[in-house]
Amino acid sequence: MQPHPKIRKTVKWTGAVLTVILVTLWVGSAWWTIDWWGESGRVVYVERGMVGFASGEVPGKGWSLNPHAPELRWWWNRSVVKNDQWRSMPIWMLVAPLATATAIVWRLDGTARRLALSGKCARCGYDIAGIRGTCPECGAGADETRPRSG
Ligand SMILES: [Zn+2]
C-alpha cells in the first residue's frame, strides 16, 4: 500500500528542499569553510565536501566563514591535531541516499497523479471515471483517487 498523498507530498517537498540545501553546502564547501564553535569548545564544520566534528580550542567563537583553495574530498577522515580529534564524513554520503529516496517519491507521486488525471485509481489503476467516492476495486478513498494540485 502506498503512503497517503498528503504524507507523500510532504516527504516529496521536504526531501527536495533538503537535497538542494545539502548539494548547495557541498558545492559551496569546495571553496568555503563554514564552522561553528560552541561554548563548550566543540566545532562543527563544513569544508571540502565534508562535514566534521572536533573539539576546538576557541570556545564560543560562534560562526565563521572562510575561503580556501578549491578542493573536494571524498572519503571519511579522522585526524588528531594537538590532542583534538577531528572526524569528518563526506557530504555526498548524505546526499546520495536522500536524493535517491526523493527521486523515488517524486516518481511515485507523478505516476499516481497521471493515473488520477486519466480517470484511473491512483492506488490500483482501476478505471474509476464517473465513479464518486471510493474505488470499487481496492477501496481507496476519494482523496487518494482524485487529481490534486502540487
Ligand atoms: Zn483502486
Residues 37 and 85 in one domain: yes
Question: If you measure from the C-alpha of residue 2 to the centroid of ligand 1, how many angstroms do you get, rounded to a whole number?
Answer: 11
In a domain, 134, yes or no: yes
CA of 127 to the centre of ligand 1 (A): 8
Question: Does residue 59 belong to any structural domain of this protein?
Answer: yes
CA 144–ligand 1 middle distance (angstroms) = 9
Q: How many domains does the chain have?
A: 2
* Per-residue pLDDT tens digits for 61-85: 789 999 999 999 999 988 887 777 8
Spell out where 28-150 has E strands: 32-37, 42-47, 50-55, 62-67, 77-81, 84-90
Cα-based distances in Å from 122 to 11, 108, 132: 18, 10, 14
Please tell me whether the overall predicted TM-score, pTM, comes out greater than 0.85 for this model: no
148: cell is 490534486
> Cα(126) to centroid of ligand 1, in Å?
5
Site of grid cell 504524507:
7
pLDDT in tens, 28-65: 999 999 999 888 888 899 999 999 998 866 677 789 99
Report yes or no: 24 and 17 within 8 Å, Cβ to Cβ: no
Can you list the positions of beta strands (E) in the chain?
A: 32-37, 42-47, 50-55, 62-67, 77-81, 84-90
Both 102 and 136 in one domain: the answer is: yes
Domain range spanning residue 43? 30-90
Residue 120, domain member (yes or no): yes
Instruction: Give the range among 2-11, 25-34, 113-122, 128-137 with minimum mean pLDDT.
Output: 2-11
